Structure 1
């Protein structure tokens, strides 16, 4: 009897560890969407050179998934709230693997783009459902620590997948698409360690700060979605443009942008690891102020950088801010949701992030063409500063009890 009793906690502990590791592995899939095949884009353009509009279409190989994430994430969230999370998540991982590796076999650019569209649907499902499951499985400080750890894994994964994609692209432009097959290895772990949360009774009252049952504070949700959109739209002023900025400023080779973005991801990971401890002391709006101020400073430093070390420092500062802001967004949206609405709200904030990602070039490129890189990055910094001021006003209002 004693032996049996002593074995139960150990088994439970192993199950919880397995669940966390599995969710972290699933979360790293989302960062692979663009980073893995980005080094192959020039070769894809060359391979399909006889296709009309190949310059635009070859770049859509990178951006098209974001559009389909934005379209499908809220729909998948609604289905998850109605029919459950786990089967949809496993289906999304399977679709991710199949659509991802399609680049190894397809013979036409439209077929390649169709695979990327399906990949976007899969990513929308994965991001939405993992966010909902985090709210279902974890509560309080454990949830905040996990969200920080998840963002850290995403940052580290970004560095690893960029490096792997670059090495494989040197062999053949199709080779990086093989990396997506890692999804098939995750499916058995998902089946073994993830369980369908009970939906009949909301027994995780501590996992949500929404005290009104299924009622949703739509103003707060709308504010978080707007912030998710704006932060992502502004942040993506940098990654696609950094090689061109370095070349225009005469700061080393454009390939040095890879080092800057890699450092950004590493610092973002380190910052995210501290999110749980910070969240234990500060409110969601207060952490937004810190994260957005760091991002603002990073953009200002980028605008005035004249050497490669200064660019690296600027990207590190911006990465520290983003490493706090993204898990805080997820924490904020989970706090607004009851178990019955968690999927829909997770889908909404996921869609908002990817709409910002997709639309960013339409805002940044005309601005850069008109006023130049420095002024554009300073304008972006002003936008981030404005968001920080708004979040600061909300934090002060909450602290004063208003």
Structure 2
């Protein structure tokens, strides 16, 4: 592949990856005004919040289906179609005249994001291997972090103009369509030589590794999502009620996460897959413990800075590990299962954490999550140090 084409391909994939964070963050600032606009609708308080969370449910449901489709029919058609539906469904909030219509648009958006994320992850597995894949995964996570910061901030400013205005941001997907059509090439594996691919599945050992990986992704998101969903309320319980304080704290974690993701490949080369999991779970567990003991805003900021190390390294590590496990003919399906696991955890997080907070309070619940993540860190370290349980990449360390 010529350098210009390769640069265009990589730039397109990186740009597409930033869209996935838009499924919720872009319109979060509009939620109060959406509730006010449809105040005559029964259960509007619940339904207006579903505008934010409903995409995650449909991402989780549709991603495995998308994985099956792209393994059988190719990557590029799914990516192009998903970009179109992403833009149309995202922008539907500009014209939807009912809360039901708004929710239908958000459900379709979730389906589109599932297609984009699943296809994007599979394409990384197709295009890259070994250290090059690790470098790309880290760079991709940095782009997601930067995109999240830009879209969250931009959505907030646009929401001050009108609650519908943030939905304009979804039209950015239309700008990526020409690049996807021009630079994304169907991997040879998906259009030729299919009959030569083995059809005997993963085998018992890889199935066990994959099941453990997917369970870890669900667990990680259940715990991690306690930060954006519960931290503002935790700060309020401490007397820190300004919304900007929560935004700055979460933003600090994102900033550290961007830096950590840029050096992910070095961590991966030095510590191996399980070593990076130990580092990421350990930093997140320590951050949650620090949150539980924080007595003021400075303590919260320090905890969030520590959490950024885990935020920036664990997601590319999950994706990289999944691609190491997946044989080429199953990359799409395994990518879909990983995406489904991530968003299942995101959807379940407030459902599980809210009752625990009601019973035990914020500090104790954060402490409990911290202990659980530290246990995961020690388990990852034990696996890293046990030669009988390797997880090897092409040319990498276990």
TM above 0.5, yes or no, is yes
Residue from 202, 224, 228 that aligns with 1:215: 202
Kept after mapping to 2: 8 A contact 1:214/1:337: no
CA deviation after TM superposition for structure 1 residue 382, in Å: 1.0
CA deviation after TM superposition for structure 1 residue 225, in Å: 0.3
5+ residue gaps, structure 2: 392-398
Aligned partners of 2:180, 2:387: CA distance in 1, in Å? 40
CA deviation after TM superposition for structure 1 residue 255, in Å: 2.8
CA deviation after TM superposition for structure 1 residue 281, in Å: 2.1
CA deviation after TM superposition for structure 1 residue 252, in Å: 5.2
5+ residue gaps, structure 1: 1-10, 206-210
Residue from 40, 59, 64 that aligns with 2:54: 64
1:366 equivalent in structure 2:
355
Pair 18,303 (structure 1): closer, same or farther in 2 beyond 3 Å: same
Report 1:381-400 matches (<5 A). 381-398=370-387
Aligned partners of 1:178, 1:377: CA distance in 2, in Å? 36
The answer to whether 1:129 aligns with 2:126 is no
CA deviation after TM superposition for structure 1 residue 339, in Å: 1.3
Which stretch has the larger CA shift, 245-254 or 290-299?
245-254
Residue from 14, 21, 24 that aligns with 2:4: 14
Residue deviations 1:2-48 (CA, integer Å, cap 9, x gap): xxxxxxxxx71111111111000000000111110000000000000
The answer to whether 1:75 aligns with 2:62 is no
2:238 equivalent in structure 1:
249
Aligned partners of 1:35, 1:400: CA distance in 2, in Å? 38
Kept after mapping to 2: 8 A contact 1:263/1:315: yes
Aligned partners of 2:334, 2:287: CA distance in 1, in Å? 30
Residue deviations 1:218-254 (CA, integer Å, cap 9, x gap): 1111011000000001111111111111110123523
Pairs aligned (count): 385
Kept after mapping to 1: 8 A contact 2:125/2:323: yes
Report 1:226-375 matches (<5 A). 226-251=215-240, 253-375=242-364
Pair 401,142 (structure 1): closer, same or farther in 2 beyond 3 Å: closer
1:88 equivalent in structure 2:
78
Residue from 134, 138, 161 that aligns with 1:171: 161
Kept after mapping to 2: 8 A contact 1:214/1:340: no
Residue deviations 1:194-214 (CA, integer Å, cap 9, x gap): 100012348xx9xxxxx9985
Aligned partners of 1:157, 1:398: CA distance in 2, in Å? 39
1:3 equivalent in structure 2:
none
TM-score normalised by L of structure 1:
0.93
Residue deviations 1:286-312 (CA, integer Å, cap 9, x gap): 110001000011111111222222211
Residue deviations 1:144-180 (CA, integer Å, cap 9, x gap): 0000000011011111111100000000000000000
Report 1:47-62 matches (<5 A). 47-62=37-52
1:155 equivalent in structure 2:
145
1:7 equivalent in structure 2:
none
Which stretch has the larger CA shift, 278-287 or 97-106?
278-287
CA deviation after TM superposition for structure 1 residue 139, in Å: 1.1
TM-score normalised by L of structure 2:
0.94
Query: Aligned to 1:196, what secondary structure does the other structure show?
Result: coil
Query: Aligned to 2:328, what secondary structure does the other structure show?
Result: coil
Pair 347,136 (structure 1): closer, same or farther in 2 beyond 3 Å: same
1:97 equivalent in structure 2:
87
Kept after mapping to 2: 8 A contact 1:152/1:269: yes
Kept after mapping to 1: 8 A contact 2:254/2:311: no
Aligned partners of 1:266, 1:383: CA distance in 2, in Å? 25
Kept after mapping to 1: 8 A contact 2:384/2:390: no
Query: Aligned to 1:52, what secondary structure does the other structure show?
Result: coil
Kept after mapping to 2: 8 A contact 1:243/1:255: no
Aligned partners of 2:351, 2:275: CA distance in 1, in Å? 31
Residue deviations 1:27-81 (CA, integer Å, cap 9, x gap): 0000111110000000000000000010000000000000000000000000100
